[in-house]
Each structure stands twice: as structure tokens, then as C-alpha cells.
Structure 1
């Protein structure tokens, strides 16, 4: 009887205690994550989920698209007209030919809105703009001495400004081309922190306080009014939201990190571990099982290709796939057109464009994308698809 009672305790008591512990760990209050994000997916204080969800209200019925790659890669060869591009992050350091792409977009009549504390120096030099950086203000919650921002337009400005108590800075523009630049906003010291630059048929908007557009700021007092007034300068048109230039975008995430960030998945993971432990406890005695006969795989080309394809798909090694496709592409160019693919020179681009009848800009962009694969550690599925489309375009249209 005592043995039976002990078995019942072991069978039901221990799993119950482990299950209770798993629920406590999963649903216990978590500390607030104050790390910068600026991503449309994050509801943390310094994410941009609220702003992104409210963009359709500002832009009307026009579609909102998302770019997960650098602008030159996303835009491609055909430049749009009359569209809005929004980039928000703590710093914007352009890759590849993004500075030139922004110039082309502005000349075409598009509008680019950038909010960042730090900008690419080459980009600022091209605009003859200089910035003075300041320390981040970390005032206590509820402080009456909060840093404030305001708009220059009399119809939009607030009588007392918009106060911020966490994460805000007092960065300001020290010099800019007054002939083509309009002052749209100022900080608490009366310095310019929000400007509009005319270029071609488009407008470039530069803001030095990206924190003002985060979830925490939008929910603090009436600061959402300030963010929406800043974005109201953009016309109601199709809008592209940037998700590439974000804090931690290149940080590699493991499957376990994704599981632990989601409470339901985390609970399921704990329950799986509990089930595995219980299985080991009650099935510790080894049982002899029949050894199944495994037939060897057919040694055929089709089965081999399918096996390799499944292997790559399961590993999600998009960078390796892109590197191999670029290697095969260069071999195709060398064997078909007898053009050397190294080193990359203007003469090589011109020669290949004449022989293949593909625009030289597309060829240059394709080779620059391929060469940039050596400098990165990870490639997203969306970027792989865009890179593949560039290569397929060449194969389908070359002469």
C-alpha cells in the first residue's frame, strides 16, 4: 500500500509541481525592456508598432509597404514617383549606393522623411549640413523639467511645447543651405532640430529626435500630436516604411531566442521538456525494438538535387545559396561572353552591357550586390528573393 502511494506521488505530484513552476515562470511579470528598437513589430517602449499601425490614418487609403533591404536594392531600376519613404532609427549609416538612390528619388518627386540622432557623414556633406550632438536626457518620471520639442509653424506649434522625460536629446543643426532649406521645428533651447530640404521635385525631411516617434513617446501626454504633425508634411500617398536600418537588424537570432520572446511558445517549450523528463523516468528500461530495413536511396540526379534542395531549405542558409548563385552567374558571364568578372571595372561593365544588351546600371548594381555578400554574415529570405530576381532578369533578357 505504501509502495502504491509512493508511486502515485511520483506519477502525479512531481509533474504537477513542474507544471505549476512552468506557469509561474512563463506568466510572471517581466521587467520593461528599454532597449532601442524602432521596429514596427515591437511593442516595447522604444519600438514603432503604434506609429506604423496608425500610418494608414495619416496616409488615407494609400498602401503602406515595408522595405527589408537597403533602398537601392528595394527600389531597383525603376524609380517610383510621388511616394513617401520613412526611415526612423537612432542612426542612419547608408549602405551601397543609398545616398545616390535618395538623390534620384528626390529628383523624381518623391518625399523622404528621416528621423535619427546620427547621420551618415558623407550624406550630410553632400547636403552641406552639419549637426551638433548632445547627451541623452534621462530625467526622472514625472519631472517638471522635461526636455521639450516644438514646431516652427504658428498654426502647428504648441504654446508650451511637447515635453519628453526619457531618451530625448538636444541635437541641433548648426549649418545648412538656407536657400533651399526650411526650418520646421526647434528643441527646448530654441535650436533647429527639424528641417525640410528642397531637391528636384521632392522634399527631404530631417529630424534629430527619433525617440519622439516611439511607442513610449506617443502614449506620454499629448506627444502623439507632435509626431503626427511632423509627419503631416508628407502628402497622402503610397508610403514605404523602412525595416532595414534598425537597431539590431543584423544581430543574428537563434530559434530558442524567438521561442523565449513569445510566452505561448515558451510555455510549450517548458511542457515539452517536462514530457521528455517524464518519458526518461518511466521509460528508462530499454526495450528491444525491431530494426527497420532502410532501403538505399536511388542514385539518380533528380533525387540528388531534391535532397540537396531540402537540406538547404531546412538550414535556411540564404547567404550560402546567394553566394553560389552569384558564383554560377559569373561563370555564365565568362563562358558566354568571354568577359573577365574580376576585377570590377567600368570597362568590364561597359563591355558586358554591350554584349548582353542589359542596361549598365542593372549590371553594376547586380555585381555590387554579389560582392557585398562577402561582407555580411546573414541574409534574409526577402533579400535572397530580390537578389534572385536580379539574376533571373539578366538570364531572361540577355542577348
Structure 2
């Protein structure tokens, strides 16, 4: 195992341990988003209402994920109740709902905003009427005047800024510092009736689980007649078939999954970089000429032929003088010594001694000792420096 891989592995394990400790000690966060999803157990989901709806409508409730336009375009439907809770609908779907109400159906619409041309046709204008952090929703009917619900978490503050004549107010928002504002109305439309409540927050899990809140909800839906009710729910409630749905639905597993993928990407990035190939060490070619010369020199020394070695050294010296210093070596006289002195700057005594040894090496009858060879080699090398 490579050293770099071990380092990356240790760093990855340390990071995972730190993240695990942070995950264990982390406080669970609450999702306060107003999603109005029937499968959500978060504070502002409709999970509780969805479970209680069957009893609330006496098992005469039909849920559909189709839009009102698609649902009513399939054929003629009988007279029934229509339920819409904080759902984004296109104008054609709203028109289909109004057509059904005109034919005798009743519609309970619990939304904070409706397209202006639709609200105008019903007979009201809605807007933000309050910025208080707490609201109290009450019904105006004497039979229900003791039933109310307190909104203490993110109320929308919506209400009806204008209501046409013949529109009946069924509920209102009560605040300490402001006058009461209508939030629940009833109006006849053709042969049917439309109920509009612009604060659907009271149907969410957070408020339905509070004691006394369920009574207000029952009072609101008591205005609908006892018959089949079609509830148009959001069409994103189908269970995902994605094979990672369990991991991604669990916050801890989802966090660990993304950390794993991030670590894997980093590992691939650092190890995929191009690495330089190892350059082999090439031994330089040996100068065999030097080895050859050394071998020949050792051979001469072993045989003790110092005279021949002095002759070859003298020949090499004179050839060097001719080639490099351009001095004639035909006569090794005083004139030659003078020229060599001027060219090299060496003392004449040294040159005279070297010339004497050169002549001795050139004389085939001279008696040569090893000391003469050593001395001559030293002087000639000194002169040629």
C-alpha cells in the first residue's frame, strides 16, 4: 500500500469520525415550511388532518390527485362538495370548479391566495391585513362563538379587504391592537354555495394536535352538506420508486451518503493526477583510452623499462611544444630555452633541467633510473601547465 494512500485514508477516517460526533450531538431541526402536504409530519403538514378526514366527512370523502380541469373534463359529475386546501390551480381549473358550483355543488376553498379574476367573480378581494405574530380565529355564528383557535406560529395575516353585498361573513381574525377582520365568508354562486377561508394554517399538524383546536375545524366543515366530498390534493404524494429513496429520506443517511461521495471524488482527483515515470539512471560511457594508457604504464613499470618511458614522454613533450607554442624543437639549445621561457614564463633553471632529462631520454645509451623518470615527468607537466 502506497504511503500517500495511507495518508488519505487516515484523513478520511478522521473527517468521518468528526462528522459522526457532530451528527450525534446535533439537535434535530424542525421544518417550519408551510408545505400543506398530506404525507408530511412536519408542523405545517396535513398528516393529522388527512388521517382524521374520513371521520370528519363520515367516510364520504374522495381524494384525487388530478387537477379539477382534468377531473371534470372526463365526464359529467353529480352534485357534491368540493374541497381545496392551499393548492396552486390554473385558471381553467378554477373555472371548472365555478361551473360545478353553478350547477348545484358546494365548494370549500381554504387558500391564502386566489387569482384576482376568480375572487372578483366570487365577490371579494383579499390582502395582507395583519403583521401580528399572534392571531385568534373565531366564528361569527352564535352557535359557534365560543369556539376559536389561536395562531401563535407564523400566521399568514390574510383577510378580506373588500366584500361585495350579499356575501356573508362566517369568521374573523381577532387581534389586540387591530379591529376585527373577516377571514371566512359564504356566498351563493348559481345553484350552489362557495365558502372561502383565507387562513388554512389551522388545518396543519401543529394546530390540530393542540387541545380545543379540533372543535374549530369541525365547526368550519359543518357548513358543508352531508354528501360526497371530492378533495383535490397535491399530485406529488406518490411514493418514489428511486432505489435510493430510503437513504435520501433519512437526514443522517443522506448526509453520510453525500460525504462518502465527496470523499470518493477527492480520492479519485488526487490519485488520477499524471505521475512522472521513473527515469532510469544511465551510467556514462567509460573512457577506455585512459584505462588503456594506465594499463600500458603499469606494464612498463612492471618491466622496469624506464628509458623507453622517458623517450616517449620526451617525444610527447616536444610535439606539444611544436603544436601549442609553435616553437621549433630541432635544436634544444639556448635559443630554444629562451623562447620556451618567454612563452611559458617558467624559470630558465627549470627549463634547463628538463631539457637535460629530455636529452637523456633520447640517448639510447644513457643509463636511466626510476628517479630520473619521476623527476622528468614532474618538470614537463609543470612547464606545460
- TM-score bracket, normalised by the shorter chain, equals 0.5 to 0.7
Is 1:100 matched with 2:89? no
Provide the rounded CA distance (Å) in 1 between the counterparts of 2:53 and 2:78.
19
Corresponding residue to 1:171 among 159, 181, 185: 159
> Where does residue 157 of structure 1 map in the other structure?
145
Provide the rounded CA distance (Å) in 2 between the counterparts of 1:64 and 1:266.
38
1:122: Cα distance to partner? 0.7
Is 1:79 matched with 2:76? yes
* SS of alignment partner, residue 167 of structure 1: coil
Q: Deviations over 1:361-385 (max 9, x none)?
A: xxxxxxxxxxxxxxxxxxxxxxxxx
Taking a change above 3 Å as real, the CA distance of residues 195 and 19 of structure 1, as seen in their structure-2 partners, is: same
Taking a change above 3 Å as real, the CA distance of residues 22 and 200 of structure 1, as seen in their structure-2 partners, is: same
> Where does residue 234 of structure 2 map in the other structure?
243
1:95: Cα distance to partner? 2.0
Is 1:212 matched with 2:230? no
Provide the rounded CA distance (Å) in 2 between the counterparts of 1:121 and 1:11.
60
* SS of alignment partner, residue 119 of structure 1: coil
Q: Deviations over 1:108-149 (max 9, x none)?
A: 4333211223322111221232345313322xxxxxxx4211
1:107: Cα distance to partner? 2.9
Taking a change above 3 Å as real, the CA distance of residues 16 and 228 of structure 1, as seen in their structure-2 partners, is: farther
Is 1:193 matched with 2:170? no
Provide the rounded CA distance (Å) in 1 between the counterparts of 2:162 and 2:91.
28
Gaps of 5+ in 1: 139-145, 250-254, 287-399
- Contact 2:110–2:197 at 8 Å: present in 1 too? yes
Provide the rounded CA distance (Å) in 2 between the counterparts of 1:271 and 1:232.
53
State the number of aligned residues: 262
Corresponding residue to 1:44 among 42, 45, 48: 42
Taking a change above 3 Å as real, the CA distance of residues 22 and 72 of structure 1, as seen in their structure-2 partners, is: same
Taking a change above 3 Å as real, the CA distance of residues 74 and 23 of structure 1, as seen in their structure-2 partners, is: farther
Q: Of the two structures, which has the highest relative contact order with CA contacts closer than 8 Å and spacing of 6 or more?
A: 1
Taking a change above 3 Å as real, the CA distance of residues 280 and 126 of structure 1, as seen in their structure-2 partners, is: closer
Taking a change above 3 Å as real, the CA distance of residues 191 and 15 of structure 1, as seen in their structure-2 partners, is: closer
Is 1:19 matched with 2:16? yes
CA RMSD of aligned residues (A): 4.1
Taking a change above 3 Å as real, the CA distance of residues 173 and 221 of structure 1, as seen in their structure-2 partners, is: farther
Corresponding residue to 1:270 among 242, 259, 266: 259
